[in-house]
Amino acid sequence: MMLTIIDLHATVDGPNGERRAILNGLTLSVGAGEVHAIMGPNGAGKSTLSYVLAGRAGYEVTGGSVMLDGTDLLALDANERAAAGLFLGLQYPVEIPGVSNLTFLRTALNAQRRARGQAEASGAEFLKLVKVEAEGFGLSMDMLKRPVNVGFSGGEKKRNEMVQMAVLSPKLAVLDETDSGLDIDALRVVSDGINRLRSPTTATLLITHYQRLLDYVVPDRVHVLVAGRIVRSGGPELARDLERDGYALDVAA
């Protein structure tokens, strides 16, 4: 398995400084070459799962294990997890004034290459790679010369994030509500990109509220996350059932 999560428990700071349990024994496996979708009601722990996998500060793992392609993910710092092959696509991509997309991407790519003992990408090699990927996601090189996400629309930010993912070529892509804020055209472009990046050596975890993304990116498995644990799993048809019936049955369970 590319990703193996066993009995994962995690807490986060509450509004009054207390620790709140969010993940309560979550178990999940995603094989290489597979796309799995995580669906569930608000507050179920979907974004918390993505943050815990990425090693975001403030999220404390209190039990369980996470293995990424044989590596103990929880033993690594956030930058080491990225170098090990994890990519997190944010629901709300942040703006970084003063740092161009090209500088950001080349720095990230070469930092990961150094961590893996690989040669850094030359300027020419990098520009050739990023140009191909940007064109595939409908972003011009002029846009990539601008500060990261500054002045970008919601759809452009998500396309930019897909370019980042394509350039970094992760083993595991965790995409937290990538479809949020996208119009139909942008959704199709982003979905086509996700499908294009599917390969026998990568795995993708899609976190979404809605079935519409899964019309374009057909998952191998769909999982329902409620109260910090997986309560139901099935094929692509499960997403359509949830769209029709909601989460009432799962929340009751």
Q: Pull the structure tokens for residue 126.
A: 């990098």
Give the three-class secondary structure for 83.
helix
- As a three-state string, the secondary structure of 39-72 is ECCCCCCHHHHHHHHHCCCCEEEEEEEEEECCEE
Confidence of residue 22 (pLDDT cuts 50, 70, 90): very high
Q: pLDDT value at position 249?
A: 63
User: How far is residue 127's CA from residue 230's CA, in Å, rounded to a whole number?
Assistant: 42
Confidence of residue 189 (pLDDT cuts 50, 70, 90): confident
User: How far is residue 165's CA from residue 27's CA, in Å, rounded to a whole number?
Assistant: 25
User: How far is residue 10's CA from residue 23's CA, in Å, rounded to a whole number?
Assistant: 5
53 pLDDT above the threshold of 90 = yes
Residue 153 — φ and ψ, nearest 5°?
-70, 170
User: How far is residue 235's CA from residue 36's CA, in Å, rounded to a whole number?
Assistant: 9
Q: pLDDT value at position 251?
A: 62
User: How far is residue 179's CA from residue 239's CA, in Å, rounded to a whole number?
Assistant: 15
Q: pLDDT value at position 8?
A: 98
46 pLDDT above the threshold of 60 = yes
Highest mean pLDDT: which range of 14-28, 57-71, 126-140, 199-213:
57-71
Confidence of residue 11 (pLDDT cuts 50, 70, 90): very high
Q: pLDDT value at position 110?
A: 96
Per-residue b/e over 11-39, b at no fewer than 16 CB within 10 Å?
A: bbeeeeeeeeebbbebebebeeebbbbbb
Amino acid (one-letter) located at 12: V
Superfamily per CATH, domain 3-252: P-loop containing nucleotide triphosphate hydrolases (3.40.50.300)
**Residue 1 gets which letter from DSSP?**
-
180 pLDDT above the threshold of 90 = no
Residue with more model confidence, 106 or 194? 106
User: How far is residue 92's CA from residue 163's CA, in Å, rounded to a whole number?
Assistant: 16
| CA distance readout (Å), 130 to 49, 216, 225 | 30, 24, 35
246 pLDDT above the threshold of 90 = no
Tell me which of 91-100, 176-185, 235-244 is least confident. Answer: 176-185
What angle (nearest 5°) sits at the alpha carbon of residue 162, between those of residues 61 and 93?
A: 60
**Cβ neighbours for 95, distance < 8 A, ≥ 6 positions apart:** 147, 148, 149, 150, 152
What is the percentage of the chain residues whose pLDDT exceeds 70? 98
Q: pLDDT value at position 252?
A: 56
Q: Are 200 and 2 in contact (CB under 8 A)?
A: no
125 pLDDT above the threshold of 80 = yes
154 pLDDT above the threshold of 90 = no
90 pLDDT above the threshold of 70 = yes
Residue with more model confidence, 209 or 228? 228
Q: pLDDT value at position 211?
A: 87
Residue 99 — φ and ψ, nearest 5°?
-120, 115
Q: Are 126 and 100 in contact (CB under 8 A)?
A: no
Highest mean pLDDT: which range of 112-121, 131-140, 181-190:
112-121
Confidence of residue 192 (pLDDT cuts 50, 70, 90): confident
User: pTM here?
Assistant: 0.93
The domain ranges of the chain are 3-252
